Amino acid sequence: MANWTVFQICLAVLMVVTGSINTLAAKWADRLEAEGKTFNHPFLQALCMFIGESLCLVAFVIVYLFRKYRYRRARVDGDLGRIDELDDAAEPTIPRFNVLIFLPPACCDILATSIMYVGLNMTHASSFQMLRGAVIIFTGLLSVAFLRTIMRGFQWLGMGLVMSGLIVVGIADIALGTDSSKDDINSVITGDLLIIMAQIIVAIQMVYEQKYVMKYDVPALLAVGLEGIYGMAILTVLMYPMYYIHLPRTFSENPFGRMEDVWLAFKQMGEDPLIIVALSGTITSIAFFNFAGISVTKELSATTRMVLDSVRTLVIWAVCLGLGWQTFVWLQIVGFGLLILGMFIYNDLVIGPWFRRSVLPAMSERGMDIGCCLSCCGVEDNLDDQRTLIHSEERDAHN
């Protein structure tokens, strides 16, 4: 962090704060009561999230127009040197693509987000955030199946640790029991399972985007904004049939067990304005979180974004403990540690770099065959090239 600029530090703080507020605001809304019932409206909350995502489209337009204005101003002034200093020496343009390619991932996002908000209503906010780490497992498996991705040994190890962490978090929830707004342990476990199931859909969305969307080089803010528009439009239409679909009490606390009763939601908002505050927090935070996350990836790295996302999980857990929304269970620390370690190993942040930097050179010096180890740590399989690389690095170190 010593080399970070003030702007980069602000982006990192903004990402952690807004990301934490997003989950905490949703859980806060779930705990508020009005009209004699808790605010149990996961699909309306999902709609608020898509409204927040659609605001990224506004941010994209503002950034695009500003860059275009700056470029044209430099051309008019004849300041060619200033043009070369711009982020893009060419005139800013919007890539040509079929906007319908964002419809399938938007549908996946609708289903996954709605299921996750149902799960969040039934379980703890900290568990909600931790269990979302299951997406690594399903994304890895789907990438192997559909993208023909070759998984390295350290990635399989990371996925195994993540799975172990998920099991420990589930056991911790059983030990923790329920928060003050729930009285059924089965509800908490069901919520955990729903969150994990939702990660399968998230993984499908990510694999689809990697296969079909990434090749168009669509700016991230534009992609998020378009998916937000699609999600907002589709979910608004679906609110009507949801009113006539009835669910068991486990999944709906509405008076008539409706899948989504938006009219009751409006009545509850009128009775308790804090619900509006909580939903506004969801909309605002998701917009700023997406912007900050994309900016962190651009200014720093995707690895930094993942690390900050782990910090967000820790912040959410600490706030929940501080507010008395749940009690402390040491198993959650174990589960959280396994999840983070698994994510770090999967993304080649720990063990792998140390193995390549320390173990492989030592093995090479002893004349040991390191070819069988190279595929596990993400290095080329050619042994001669590896030894050349090691000796080259040793020379550079001496110099």
CA dist., res. 99 & res. 378, Å (int): 36
Q: Please report, for the chain, the start and end positions of each structural domain, with discontinuous segments joined by +.
A: 17-347, 356-398
Q: What tokens were used for 389? A: 């690389």
What burial class does residue 82 get, using C-beta atoms within 10 Å of its C-beta: 0-12 exposed, 13-18 middle, 19+ buried? middle
Residue 286: its pLDDT value, please?
94
> Contact, 132 vs 154, CB < 8 A?
no
CA dist., res. 353 & res. 345, Å (int): 10
CA dist., res. 328 & res. 317, Å (int): 9
CA dist., res. 248 & res. 33, Å (int): 20
Smallest Cα–Cα separation from 341: which of 164, 151, 138, 152?
Answer: 164
> Contact, 140 vs 148, CB < 8 A?
no
Q: What tokens were used for 231? A: 């999600």
CA dist., res. 87 & res. 90, Å (int): 9
Predicted structure pTM score: 0.81
Per-residue pLDDT of the chain (399 residues; tens, 9 = 90+): 557 788 888 989 999 999 999 999 999 999 999 888 889 899 999 999 999 999 999 999 998 998 888 888 877 766 555 555 555 556 788 888 888 999 999 999 999 999 999 999 888 888 898 999 898 899 889 988 888 888 888 889 989 999 999 999 888 877 765 454 444 677 888 888 999 999 999 999 988 888 877 778 788 889 899 999 999 999 999 999 999 998 887 777 777 889 999 999 999 999 999 999 999 999 999 999 988 888 887 787 767 877 888 889 889 999 998 988 888 888 888 999 999 999 888 887 777 676 667 666 666 666 555 555 555 555 444 333 333 333 333 334 333
Determine the straight-line distance between the first and last CA of the chain, rounded to whole angstroms.
27
Cβ neighbours for 399, distance < 8 A, ≥ 6 positions apart: none
Residue written as token pair 């919007």:
94
CA dist., res. 26 & res. 72, Å (int): 43
